[in-house]
Chain A
Amino acid sequence: MSLLLGLRLAVAGGREALLRLAFTAVAVGVGITLLLLALTGQAAVQGRADRIGWQDAAYVASGAGERPQPPAESADGALFLAVSDYYDGAPMTRAYAAALGADPPVPPGLVRLPGPGEVAASPAMRRLLESTPDDQLRDRFPGRVTMTIGDPGLAHSNELVAIVGRTPGQLQGVGSVQEVRGFDTVPNGFAYFYFLRLMLLIGTVLLLVPVVILIVMVTRVAAARREQRLAAIRLVGATRLQTAVLAAAEAGIAAVAGSALAWAAYEAGRRLLAATVTFQGGRFFLADVTVARWILVLVLVGAPAVVTLTTIASLRRVQVSPLGISRRGRRPAPPAWHALPIVAGIGGQVALGPLRGTVGSDTLDRLAPLFAVLAIVGFVLVGPWLCLLAGRGLARISRRVPGLLAARRIAADPRATFRAVSGVVLAAWVITYIGSTVDQFRPPDEAGAVRLRPGMVQVVTGGVPADQVAPLRSGPTVLARGTGGFMVSCAELSRVRYVPCPHTADSGRFEPGPGAESMAVAEVYIRTDGTLAAENRVRTRAANLVPNAIIHTDRDPDAGILFFAGIGRLASVACLFVLLVGACSLAAGMIGGLVERRRPFALLRASGLRLGELRRLVFLETAATMLCTAAVGVGLGLVTAYAAARQGDVGWRWPGLDVFGYVGGGVLAALIFSTLALPLLDATTRPDTVRYE
């Protein structure tokens, strides 16, 4: 009965009730949508890594990666090699495969392994091959293109990749070639990918909390008005339980509507993300930009549950009696033990780094999010205490009424104050964490990089007899010999690369000593006229002579720069999400605070408090606490990023000033966004409001 009454009040309670319902539904919908879209980020990166994991099969089979040999999936193996290559600065993958029997493993996206004389190419590669002269590219892939690699084997639809079918004899003896039994879809253990995944995992956990806070804040906006109705219903005989059910039903229906909206927005949003976000040279496949069905159900059902529970919990703070609403008195200051979880969470995160070698990456995978959750819970517990300090500080320095009122308001209920700003504060934490983490991938400054001179082609052979590369030496060339360290004249090398002479101790290069002439050739530098065509002709010849050679020109982007740009873009999208959630929470918190104090504010204005002073009051109580707690959030972001870097075995360096600028700008933007709620202040607290309240 209470349930039905609650539903009826929500949908047929007049214009104001409908507006409240719509506000709650939209805000809950925004929160859930952002969370779902953030979760798709991890799925998208994981999905892409899964699709191209086959390219690392030889690397994994060599035992160099952290993952063991992929499980056998075919009776017969295959010889396999995948090499990074470029065309006019665009990365491409050139792979070679030779079946070792009738039932070789098959890479995803193909129905069979290309046989000798056959080439399997991605659609983008096919187009490029058709539009480029043979001696510049086509000849690098000897054979006839008979197969197209499908989406399951491609990172993105523009990926340039081709597999050249060979006989086992052609590949035997080629450096880096490995026998593979299966093309496992599990990506290998490159530190970067592992780190990226860890970063996304922790980032998602960090985003989850601001979203929950947003939902809680939105739910509380309607609480003050709801409580008045509940008192009226208590007057006619409703029990506490009945009023709780009624309130829960009213809030629940808004949340269910929000979930439905979020589902629709998520479906539209993931299509938008797949169509617009570019990562490492291409857009994500729509099938990857999705969350697992169980997660979708959990979030869509969990959010209304959170809203309902929040509504019931918010009733605990007020005494809904038949004669009206009375708030419980002064709440005790947060106890000291509230600091324990954050100490444990942050301490655990930091401790995981040194333990990396002993506990293994799987254990790290499980422990890191747990400590992240513990740290966040700890921060939520400690936040009110920080607000209390901020309030006391503000009270001490305030000379005017707005400052004093703001300070007292903060100190009277630091929990409520922190709730209002916590979204942005956590956003500051998350953005600092993401920004600092991304900065770990920032390639060295241009000045420190050792780049090729224009027109030079560098062929890194890995150590081959001089005869094998003799055809490349028809023109002026520079050779580096040896395997452990490269022996090359610095004077000669400086003609092809921008290097300081003499060789520096950490360059790995030495002046040729006696017997150097008989050593294997490790690098060949070939001078061209600098045209794209000439460079590609050299590349093609080199690839045919030494299939496993890594070939570079000064046109090739640095892999680190590419990776950095990719995750930088992802990070920007993630930060935008987090900030949006935080700003929405802040605005909701402000609106909630206004609605709750509508009458005292209106009476203050009736007594002569100017609107400007009231605005300053509301702004101050938000800004003072936000700046104080955001500073702590930034500190925690740095510590978390440091811990993640240590866990991922990536060296730590301080983030650039741009990261701090980004955080500061974000916090400021959120603060400005929240002032959008200020016009409401005038409307809700007009002195004549005292007549109706």
Chain B
Amino acid sequence: MPPVLVGRDLHKWFGVAEALRGASITLDEGEIVAVMGPSGSGKSTLLHCLAGILAPESGQVHFAGRRIDQLPDRDRTNLRRTVFGFVFQFGQLVPELPAVENIALPLLLTGLRRKPALAAASAWLPRLGLDGLGGRLPGELSGGQGQRIALARALIANPKIVFADEPTGALDSVAADQVMELLVDAARAQGSSVLMVTHEPRVAGYADRTVLVRDGVDALRVGAG
């Protein structure tokens, strides 16, 4: 089966600094891949290029056989909204929306009516261990709880790929484990691929495969352990 996502010979500059120097990566359907590397190695840039958040200066990104790096911003936005899910390190929840509405956002964005969207979102709360907390605002949740909400939001629309940028970077190890278990279980259950950036080997251990990035190029691929 062909890979669902392919990044080939990607180059990206920020001013005079070259963040990516010909990085390449593939992601198979249902596969969980961790991208690791030291700070400034270009791992987040790689994730952003693959997700269509940034456009690489050269190289190609293909999703499901279709080249996406040259798509206009509008089409890339559509792609992110319909087939990608995102989890970031912090600050990703809309502060004014209660937890359940934050989870329902991707469904609402696709045009689903509020009632079924909220019902689907509420169904996630017990799975997240957040039963009864759906009405709380993000400011009233702990870091781990907030990250679990973000996780549910990334997965609720049944995306093909979940991009996670340091999803446990702001959490303690217990909360980090909870989040990773949820992410891996949910992704496997619905067949989503996961591409996550992390600098923690412990978190990378949840992945099927790890890609090490150094100085903007993929330096080493490690098989599932």
Q: A residues near B, CB below 8 A?
A: 326-330, 398-401, 404-405, 408-409, 411-413, 597, 599-600, 603-611, 613, 687-688, 690-691, 693
B124 at the interface (CB under 8 A from A): no
Q: From the candidates A609, A610, A691, name the one contacting B48 in the complex (CB within 8 A).
A: A691
* A-contact bits for B78-93, CB 8 A (1 contact / 0 none): 1111101110100111
23 cross-chain CB contacts under 8 A: A398-B114, A399-B114, A400-B108, A401-B109, A404-B101, A404-B108, A405-B94, A408-B96, A408-B98, A412-B95, A413-B96, A597-B95, A600-B91, A600-B92, A600-B93, A606-B86, A607-B153, A608-B80, A609-B77, A610-B77, A690-B53, A691-B48, A691-B54
Of all chain B residues, which has the CB nearest A597?
Answer: B95
For residue B61, give the distance in angstroms from its CB to the closest CB of chain A.
15
State whether A405 and B97 are in contact (beta carbons under 8 Å apart), knowing that A412-B137, A608-B82, A608-B84 are contacts in the complex: yes
B139 at the interface (CB under 8 A from A): yes
Q: From the candidates B44, B82, B105, name the one contacting A401 in the complex (CB within 8 A).
A: B105
Q: Contact size class for B?
A: 35 or more
State whether A327 and B139 are in contact (beta carbons under 8 Å apart), knowing that A404-B108, A412-B96 are contacts in the complex: yes
Which residues of chain A have C-beta atoms less than 8 A from B78's C-beta?
608
Instruction: Give the most central of B95, B96, B105, B137: most A CB within 10 Å.
Output: B96
How distant is the Cα of A575 from the Cα of B32 in the complex, in angstroms? 63
The answer to whether B140 touches A329, judged by C-beta atoms less than 8 angstroms apart, is yes
The answer to whether B108 touches A401, judged by C-beta atoms less than 8 angstroms apart, is yes
What 7 new A-B contacts, CB under 8 Å, besides A604-B105, A606-B53?
Answer: A408-B94, A413-B96, A600-B93, A608-B82, A610-B77, A690-B48, A691-B48
Q: From the candidates A400, A411, A599, A605, name the one contacting B91 in the complex (CB within 8 A).
A: A599
Which residues of chain A have C-beta atoms less than 8 A from B109's C-beta?
401, 608-609, 613
B106 at the interface (CB under 8 A from A): yes
The answer to whether B94 touches A604, judged by C-beta atoms less than 8 angstroms apart, is yes
Q: B residues near A, CB below 8 A?
A: 44-45, 48, 51, 53-54, 74, 77-82, 84-86, 88, 91-98, 101, 105-106, 108-109, 111, 113-114, 137, 139-140, 153
For the complex of A and B, 8 pairs with smallest distance between CB atoms? A608-B81, A412-B96, A608-B80, A409-B96, A408-B96, A687-B53, A603-B92, A599-B91
Which residues of chain B have C-beta atoms less than 8 A from A611's C-beta?
77
Instruction: Give the most central of B54, B94, B98, B111: most A CB within 10 Å.
Output: B94
How distant is the Cα of A187 from the Cα of B95 in the complex, in angstroms? 59
Of all chain A residues, which has the CB nearest B108?
Answer: A401
Q: From the candidates B81, B84, B86, B96, name the one contacting A603 in the complex (CB within 8 A).
A: B86
Which residues of chain B have C-beta atoms less than 8 A from A688's C-beta?
48, 53-54
Which residues of chain B have C-beta atoms less than 8 A from A326's C-beta?
139
How distant is the Cα of A693 from the Cα of B88 in the complex, in angstroms? 12
Which residues of chain B have C-beta atoms less than 8 A from A401's C-beta?
105, 108-109
How distant is the Cα of A609 from the Cα of B48 in the complex, in angstroms? 16
Q: Give chain A's interface secondary structure class.
A: helix
The answer to whether B80 touches A607, judged by C-beta atoms less than 8 angstroms apart, is yes
How distant is the Cα of A326 from the Cα of B92 in the complex, in angstroms? 14
State whether A330 and B91 are in contact (beta carbons under 8 Å apart), knowing that A608-B78, A610-B74, A691-B48 are contacts in the complex: no
How distant is the Cα of A583 from the Cα of B51 in the complex, in angstroms? 39
Which residues of chain B have C-beta atoms less than 8 A from A597's C-beta?
95
Which residues of chain B have C-beta atoms less than 8 A from A687's C-beta?
48, 53-54, 80
State whether A328 and B96 are in contact (beta carbons under 8 Å apart), knowing that A408-B101, A690-B88 are contacts in the complex: no
State whether A608 and B91 are in contact (beta carbons under 8 Å apart), knowing that A329-B139, A413-B96, A691-B44 are contacts in the complex: no
Of all chain B residues, which has the CB nearest A608?
Answer: B81
Which residues of chain A have C-beta atoms less than 8 A from B86's C-beta?
603, 606-607
For residue B197, give the distance in angstroms from its CB to the closest CB of chain A.
12
Which residues of chain A have C-beta atoms less than 8 A from B91's C-beta?
599-600, 603, 693
Which residues of chain B have C-beta atoms less than 8 A from A607's C-beta?
80-81, 84-86, 92, 105-106, 153
Which residues of chain B have C-beta atoms less than 8 A from A604's C-beta?
94, 105
For residue B205, give the distance in angstroms from its CB to the closest CB of chain A.
26
Which residues of chain A have C-beta atoms less than 8 A from B84's C-beta?
607-608
Which residues of chain A have C-beta atoms less than 8 A from B74's C-beta?
610
How distant is the Cα of A154 from the Cα of B6 in the complex, in angstroms? 85
Which residues of chain B have C-beta atoms less than 8 A from A693's C-beta?
91
The answer to whether A608 touches B139, judged by C-beta atoms less than 8 angstroms apart, is no
How distant is the Cα of A604 from the Cα of B96 in the complex, in angstroms? 13
Which residues of chain B have C-beta atoms less than 8 A from A329's C-beta?
137, 139-140
For residue B138, give the distance in angstroms from its CB to the closest CB of chain A.
9
For residue A454, give the distance in angstroms from its CB to the closest CB of chain B.
69
How distant is the Cα of A329 from the Cα of B140 in the complex, in angstroms? 6
Q: From the candidates A330, A605, A691, name the one contacting B140 in the complex (CB within 8 A).
A: A330
The answer to whether B54 touches A399, judged by C-beta atoms less than 8 angstroms apart, is no
Of all chain B residues, which has the CB nearest A327?
Answer: B139
Which residues of chain B have C-beta atoms less than 8 A from A600's C-beta?
91-95
Q: From the candidates B44, B113, B139, name the one contacting A328 in the complex (CB within 8 A).
A: B139
For residue B193, give the distance in angstroms from its CB to the closest CB of chain A.
17
How distant is the Cα of A399 from the Cα of B108 in the complex, in angstroms? 9
How distant is the Cα of A605 from the Cα of B77 in the complex, in angstroms? 8
How distant is the Cα of A607 from the Cα of B95 in the complex, in angstroms? 16
Instruction: Give the most central of B53, B78, B93, B106: most A CB within 10 Å.
Output: B53
How distant is the Cα of A401 from the Cα of B102 in the complex, in angstroms? 11
The answer to whether B88 touches A327, judged by C-beta atoms less than 8 angstroms apart, is no
For residue A693, give the distance in angstroms from its CB to the closest CB of chain B.
7
The answer to whether B94 touches A330, judged by C-beta atoms less than 8 angstroms apart, is no
Instruction: Give the most central of B51, B54, B79, B97: most A CB within 10 Å.
Output: B97
Of all chain A residues, which has the CB nearest B150?
Answer: A603
Which residues of chain B have C-beta atoms less than 8 A from A605's C-beta?
77
Which residues of chain A have C-beta atoms less than 8 A from B98's C-beta?
408
Which residues of chain B have C-beta atoms less than 8 A from A691's C-beta?
44-45, 48, 54
Which residues of chain A have C-beta atoms less than 8 A from B53's C-beta?
606, 687-688, 690
How distant is the Cα of A611 from the Cα of B13 in the complex, in angstroms? 25
How distant is the Cα of A693 from the Cα of B9 in the complex, in angstroms? 27
Of all chain A residues, which has the CB nearest B163?
Answer: A606
For residue B103, give the distance in angstroms from its CB to the closest CB of chain A.
12
Which residues of chain A have C-beta atoms less than 8 A from B92's C-beta?
600, 603, 607
Which residues of chain A have C-beta atoms less than 8 A from B93's C-beta?
600
Which residues of chain B have C-beta atoms less than 8 A from A400's C-beta?
108, 111
For residue B33, give the distance in angstroms from its CB to the closest CB of chain A.
20
How distant is the Cα of A232 from the Cα of B137 in the complex, in angstroms? 26
How distant is the Cα of A352 from the Cα of B36 in the complex, in angstroms? 75
How distant is the Cα of A326 from the Cα of B101 in the complex, in angstroms? 21
Of all chain B residues, which has the CB nearest A599?
Answer: B91
Of all chain A residues, which has the CB nearest B95?
Answer: A600
How distant is the Cα of A609 from the Cα of B51 in the complex, in angstroms? 14
The answer to whether A608 touches B106, judged by C-beta atoms less than 8 angstroms apart, is yes
Of all chain B residues, which has the CB nearest A407?
Answer: B96
Q: From the candidates B77, B97, B114, name the one contacting A608 in the complex (CB within 8 A).
A: B77
How distant is the Cα of A600 from the Cα of B109 in the complex, in angstroms? 15
How distant is the Cα of A250 from the Cα of B44 in the complex, in angstroms? 34
Which residues of chain A have C-beta atoms less than 8 A from B101's C-beta?
404, 408
Which residues of chain A have C-beta atoms less than 8 A from B153's C-beta?
607
How distant is the Cα of A307 from the Cα of B80 in the complex, in angstroms? 42
Of all chain B residues, which has the CB nearest A412?
Answer: B96
Instruction: Give the most central of A330, A404, A597, A599: most B CB within 10 Å.
Output: A404
Which residues of chain B have C-beta atoms less than 8 A from A399's C-beta?
113-114
Which residues of chain A have C-beta atoms less than 8 A from B140's C-beta?
329-330
For residue B10, give the distance in angstroms from its CB to the closest CB of chain A.
15
For residue A327, give the distance in angstroms from its CB to the closest CB of chain B.
6
Instruction: Give the most central of A326, A398, A609: most B CB within 10 Å.
Output: A609
How distant is the Cα of A603 from the Cα of B80 in the complex, in angstroms? 11
How distant is the Cα of A456 from the Cα of B74 in the complex, in angstroms? 76
For residue A428, give the distance in angstroms from its CB to the closest CB of chain B.
26
For residue A413, give the distance in angstroms from its CB to the closest CB of chain B.
7
How distant is the Cα of A603 from the Cα of B96 in the complex, in angstroms? 14
Which residues of chain A have C-beta atoms less than 8 A from B94's C-beta?
405, 408, 600, 604
For residue B155, give the distance in angstroms from its CB to the closest CB of chain A.
12
For residue B158, give the distance in angstroms from its CB to the closest CB of chain A.
14
Of all chain B residues, which has the CB nearest A408?
Answer: B96
For residue B133, give the distance in angstroms from its CB to the closest CB of chain A.
13
